[in-house]
Structure 1
Amino acid sequence: MTTALQSSPRRSNARPLQDASLLNGPMLLFRSIRGLRTNRSLLWLACVPIALSGLGLFNLAVHAADATGITLNAQGLANNLWLLIATILVIFMNAGFAMVEAGMCRQKNAVNILAKNLLVFTLAVSAYWFIGYHLMYTGEWIIPGILKSPGFFFDPTVTDPEGLVPSIDFLFQAAFAGTAATIVSGVVAERIKFGEFVIFSLILTAFIYPIAGSWQWNFPDEAGVGGGWLARLGFIDFAGSTIVHSVGAWAGLVGAALLGPRIGKFVDGKPQALPGHNMAIATLGALILWIGWYGFNPGSVLALDQTVPYVAVTTTLAAAGGGIAATILSQLTSGKPDLTMIINGILAGLVSITAGCDGVSMWAAWVIGFIGGLIVVFSVSFVDGLGIDDPVGAVSVHGSCGIWGTLAVGFFNADYGLFTGHGFSQIGVQLIGAIAYAAFIIISCWILWSFIGSLFGGIRVSEEEEIKGLDIGEHGMEAYPDFASN
């Protein structure tokens, strides 16, 4: 018996590469590479230059479309630079959402939550780039004010030396679409299948959110022609208390209702606490979201002027008011200040001011945030009382406070508000808008969640997988492999 390793015998007709001719050398070189020894592999390799040529032609076409000869003036450059910075801040909010959701949920599901938050933005940008932006803004109205024609991509051509570069505008709007989808993740956390959530997020950002947004953020011209039906009605939602936050909350609420509560959340009909595993990163996430909101609200000015710092101040005051109110109320109701309520109170204030941050006084901004902080504490208990399991309180923060922020415009807006001497009419318009969005999202998402569930045998993981944790069941890894699990 021999233990020597025997080399594979060469084929009798094989020739060394150094002896090959110029004609045979390239083929021998390719065949010497592992994986390129079959004709089929070489056929796939031959497709590479064809694909590169196609990409080159596409690149030339894009540059040809951009070659308008228009140069932005100083104001245009400032506007676009500010919007780019604001976009980066809004995108950074994804880190905040991930930290808040992961920290407020259990250790065994941390990887799943982080993966969803990271992937959902890639899905949102892709779907919104492919069809959503066109459906929301640039398409022609099929049903005036309600539905635009579907189409693909967007035109990057610069036509206005003082206006927004279309590419910058797309990035900003795509970040908003991603925010709406990310809100859903928190509501359905710890029991939803990963793949089914991916499919839902794609359709939400490609179709449902753009249709909803087109109703308000397509404004009529000076003659009152065109625009979305809510914009023509006079509905005001400056940065998306309803269009972004409530849309995400209602979409998640429907999913949570269909999923049912997590195992152990309700015992004999009474809600039980399922504490989050890391309040440090949840607190960090709240601060990241607060910082990101300076892109969300001031960025919605879509220009760099005196309105930007004013909106930043009203946003800050509302967050402060919300945090204070939630702290006081949690102290009164539970006997101790609850950190989760402080976090959600700050976020409630931010959501509440988002609709009217440009048109209310500073004292009104603080009051709006303070009321939002009170609402979120009561809303969390109310949602629990309905038997709906919302692990992070996202329905209360983004849904309940989104409605309040939308209605608050009718009370406090300097030009249209009841408390500024302009009657009840704007409150009615705001109420119509809030109800219309809730009805559209609840109905459309109920259909979508149900369809996905029927197609894939349900949207909830198995009981065994839920008990073991979605990190292992869905991803095959743990967030803290060196720490013992409880």
Structure 2
Amino acid sequence: MNLRYFLKPHIWGCYAWLVLFNLLPTSLLADQVIIYQQPVPNHGHKEISNLESGHRAQQEDILQNTQSIQGLSDTLLQMESALNGSMEQFQTEVESEVGSIQTATEQNYERIERINQHEVQSNQNFLDSFWLLIAAAMVFLMQAGFTAFEVGVVRMEHRSGVGLKNMLDWLVVAVVFYLFGYSIMFNFDVTKGAEAWYSLENLDFFLFQLVFASTAVTIISGALAERTKLIFYFFIAIVVGGIIYPIVGNMVWGNGLDPNQSAYLFDRGFMDFAGSTVVHSVGAWVSLIGCILIQARADRFSDDPKLVPRPYNLGYSTLGVLILWFGWWGFNGGTNLAFNEDVSHIILNTNLAGAAGGISAFLLGLITYTRRTGKFQYADFLKREIEQEEVFMKLLGGVLGGLVAITASCNIVSGSDAILIGLIAGVVHNLAFDLLVKLKIDDPVGAIPVHGACGVLGTILVTIGNPFQFSTNQQFYQAFSYQTMIAARDAYYAPNGEMNLNLADILASMEESEDDYPPAAQIEFIDADSIFNEFLIKNYLPHGAELAGRPMMSDSTIEQHLTDNPASFPLAFEETFSKSVLPQSWFDQLIDQLYGILIVMLVSVGISGIMFLVLKPFGMRVSPDQEKHGEIL
């Protein structure tokens, strides 16, 4: 292709169009493009007007489409908003439903928990009641043990008589204690009889107390054996089982059913867990005054060994001791009044003390036997037999003495303490046994050394125990109350009248150490320095007023507040509240124990002494001939 080709006219026309295209505005260019896209060969005014109208129509269509799209978008936005609102409402409803379900679930869990707690408590109450009935049955079996023991110790002619006495005292006590003895002991209206206290909920407790009353009476049957007419023993059983024992029991255990009731000796701090004094010493004191007033059996202290009354069969007595030992597990274990871990601890201590008492009594008796028989001639075999029987009697009595001695403190002492108490009891038993012989006081079965001397010993030896070792035992809570809070209050206040909230200082003022407290799991509120502060604020000050800076409360203020607001007492104290003393030292406790022993002795000896003096002129004692042949009617 040459240059002349580009110089042709039609090529120049193309050049002109290209220049014009580049110089026109963009909008015109667009129109021009559109115009040239139309297959319109005629470029007149009419055709241009038609094109513009079509262009405007297209723009209107586009605008309408845009508006439609905008409307659709608004509709979608409204739908989205409505949908979001519905979702929020749905979410709220779901959350509300979930909350309702959770609330209902929690309520169900709480209801189930309450039901479970109620079931657990019901089961525990049933177990406690069942254990109390089992323990009562075990103590009732002690009647058989006393019978076997006494039958073996008395002369052959009096086997039947002493057995019938054991039966008679149970018959009498079962009636009189039901009619009025129980009411006297636990502060019911005596004039209403059993109606004053009869309740299906408390019958297990009544039965347990009934066998205790019978035990106190049956001790006397052996001490007065072989020389007391049966009809007079009938009256003795009425007085002891219906009057003396209930009065003494009221002074020590009178608040057992109603902790707000007064118990004279207990309120002073006297402690006797299962009855070393309340049961055993009562029987021994009555036996002592009876033995003195009725006097000894014929030839009991004769110099002629052929005339001295001899035991019928100590094998029976051994069987009786074993039965009594078994019953003692229920005697002491049942006094816990609940079946828990304390029961095994109590029974273990009971068992250890009985065994230790038998060992020490046997060894000491053997030493005495060797010393005495060493002076005998070979022909004095009868004297040696009598001495040998005495050793056997001391062994059996030592076992019973150890059991009696531990009865007062079996819940608060350790196993080692129990052995120590038993060893001492065996020695004391033998000394008392020999003392009665020297004083010529005739006690055929050794009831006074066993239940009297060892009962007093065991009550005194409560002082070696630690009251703070009480756990679920009710006496711990009973002891930790009125006087203790007064002592705590005094320890709280510094000389400037403000409160001292240091637990260690308070415990030191009570001469106790923090380690003496039981684990917090057993008594949950004894685990912090603020125990007394919290305790006094909640229970001893009206409306929970602050202690700091307040004047010291008087004793009467504390007592009155407790009287007016018994329900405010903490749950752990609530069922066993009383105004008792927790001594600040073992010496204080010893004084309280000795005072209690003295009061019980005066009551027992005083009432029974009057009874014996009244009955004696009516021929209370059998004649020597009747005694020789075993007649007691």
TM-score, reference length from structure 2: 0.58
| Corresponding position: 1:201 with 2:250 | no
AA of the residue aligned to 1:444: I
Kept in 1, the 8 Å contact 2:302–2:308? The answer is no
| Corresponding position: 1:153 with 2:161 | no
Q: Indicate which of 382, 407, 415 corresponds to 2:435.
A: 382
Corresponding residue number in structure 1 for 2:464: 411
| Corresponding position: 1:313 with 2:354 | no
Kept in 1, the 8 Å contact 2:186–2:255? The answer is no
Quick one: distance in 2 between partners of 1:151 and 1:297?
A: 31
Quote the offset at 1:156 in angstroms. 3.2
Corresponding residue number in structure 2 for 1:227: 262
Quick one: distance in 1 between partners of 2:154 and 2:127?
A: 41
Q: Indicate which of 402, 405, 419 corresponds to 1:349.
A: 402
Corresponding residue number in structure 1 for 2:629: 468
Corresponding residue number in structure 2 for 1:122: 171
Q: Indicate which of 235, 255, 259 corresponds to 2:294.
A: 259
The structure where helix makes up a greater share of residues is 2
Quick one: distance in 2 between partners of 1:269 and 1:431?
A: 41
Corresponding residue number in structure 2 for 1:449: 612
* SS of match in other structure, 1:424: helix
Corresponding residue number in structure 2 for 1:217: 253
Matching of residues 58-77 of structure 1 within 5 Å? 73-77=122-126
Quick one: distance in 2 between partners of 1:156 and 1:399?
A: 33
More divergent stretch after superposition (211-220 vs 367-376): 211-220
Kept in 1, the 8 Å contact 2:278–2:600? The answer is yes
Instruction: Give aligned pairs, total.
Output: 386
Structure 1, unaligned runs of 5 or more: 1-69, 141-148, 159-164, 475-486
Quote the offset at 1:269 in angstroms. 12
Quick one: distance in 2 between partners of 1:413 and 1:97?
A: 32
* SS of match in other structure, 2:194: coil
Quote the offset at 1:230 in angstroms. 0.4
Quick one: distance in 2 between partners of 1:362 and 1:418?
A: 24
Matching of residues 123-142 of structure 1 within 5 Å? 123-139=172-188
Quick one: distance in 2 between partners of 1:270 and 1:172?
A: 44
AA of the residue aligned to 1:468: H
Quote the offset at 1:151 in angstroms. 4.3
Corresponding residue number in structure 2 for 1:161: none
AA of the residue aligned to 1:156: Y
1:108/1:221 Cα in 2 relative to 1: closer, same or farther (>3 Å)?
A: closer
Kept in 1, the 8 Å contact 2:161–2:630? The answer is no
Quick one: distance in 2 between partners of 1:400 and 1:271?
A: 30
1:212/1:340 Cα in 2 relative to 1: closer, same or farther (>3 Å)?
A: same
Structure 2, unaligned runs of 5 or more: 1-117, 371-387, 470-509, 517-583
Kept in 1, the 8 Å contact 2:187–2:250? The answer is no
Corresponding residue number in structure 2 for 1:85: 134
Quote the offset at 1:228 in angstroms. 1.1
| Corresponding position: 1:175 with 2:211 | yes
Quote the offset at 1:306 in angstroms. 0.9
1:118/1:414 Cα in 2 relative to 1: closer, same or farther (>3 Å)?
A: same
| Corresponding position: 1:280 with 2:315 | yes
1:354/1:418 Cα in 2 relative to 1: closer, same or farther (>3 Å)?
A: farther
* SS of match in other structure, 2:424: helix
Quick one: distance in 2 between partners of 1:82 and 1:308?
A: 10
Q: Deviations over 1:261-287 (max 9, x none)?
A: 000012379998522111111000000
More divergent stretch after superposition (329-338 vs 226-235): 329-338
Q: Indicate which of 152, 155, 176 corresponds to 1:103.
A: 152
| Corresponding position: 1:438 with 2:601 | yes
Quick one: distance in 2 between partners of 1:202 and 1:271?
A: 37
Q: Deviations over 1:419-438 (max 9, x none)?
A: 99933110110000011101
Matching of residues 179-190 of structure 1 within 5 Å? 179-190=215-226
* SS of match in other structure, 1:174: helix
AA of the residue aligned to 1:400: A
Quick one: distance in 1 between partners of 2:405 and 2:194?
A: 32
Q: Deviations over 1:78-112 (max 9, x none)?
A: 00000000000000000000011110010000000
Corresponding residue number in structure 2 for 1:425: 588
Q: Deviations over 1:396-444 (max 9, x none)?
A: 0000000000000023345499999933110110000011101111111
AA of the residue aligned to 2:275: G
AA of the residue aligned to 1:152: G
Q: Deviations over 1:234-288 (max 9, x none)?
A: 1000000000000001111111111110000123799985221111110000000
Quote the offset at 1:225 in angstroms. 5.3
Corresponding residue number in structure 1 for 2:49: none
Quote the offset at 1:126 in angstroms. 0.7
* Matched-pair identity in %: 35
Quick one: distance in 1 between partners of 2:307 and 2:466?
A: 40
Corresponding residue number in structure 1 for 2:574: none
| Corresponding position: 1:360 with 2:413 | yes
Q: What is the root-mean-square deviation of aligned Cα atoms in Å?
A: 2.6
Quick one: distance in 1 between partners of 2:159 and 2:256?
A: 45
Quick one: distance in 1 between partners of 2:430 and 2:213?
A: 27
Kept in 1, the 8 Å contact 2:213–2:245? The answer is yes
Q: Indicate which of 155, 173, 191 corresponds to 2:227.
A: 191
| Corresponding position: 1:397 with 2:450 | yes
Quick one: distance in 1 between partners of 2:257 and 2:133?
A: 26
